[in-house]
Structure 1
Amino acid sequence: MSTVKVKLLEPVRVTKKTRTIVTLLEGTNGKQERKGNSKKISELLRSSEFANRKSYSAEEIEAQILEARESWD
């Protein structure tokens, strides 16, 4: 499971850390000014490239983050 940051367009009060489900919609009800393209994201999520991507353990990810932090010195 991945962790991402989501910018909400409406106020939402969350009182405790929780998991959520995000739905990516292909169409809009008006002109969209924001950057991004949910159709392309949806296609990527359904692609064999994404399904067959290499996955990393939490320890491997943490080690990569630590290495990147320390490389600034």
Structure 2
Amino acid sequence: MKNIILCLTAAILLSGCAGVLKEQQPVCTGTAMVGGQESTVQIYGVRKQNNLTQYRAGYPFNWTWVSAGTFTSTTCQ
């Protein structure tokens, strides 16, 4: 009985956090060489830092900021 109550409590707590993170839509796409193959990567943000353009890239870059030089082409403006 104790395990059932614990499981229900955990489920309720986790479902309460379901809407906290917003789903982002990509702003553009880019083509990058990953593992020797061209891959299309979705880009979720663009910023300029120290006169360098950086893109917030999704998979396979794990949503980190990467240099624009990483991409062979992009649809970003």
TM-score bracket, shorter-length normalisation: under 0.3
Bigger CA radius of gyration: 2
Greater helix share, structure number:
1
Give the TM-score taking structure 1 as reference length. 0.25
Greater strand share, structure number:
2
Higher relative contact order structure (alpha carbons within 8 Å, sequence separation ≥ 6): 2
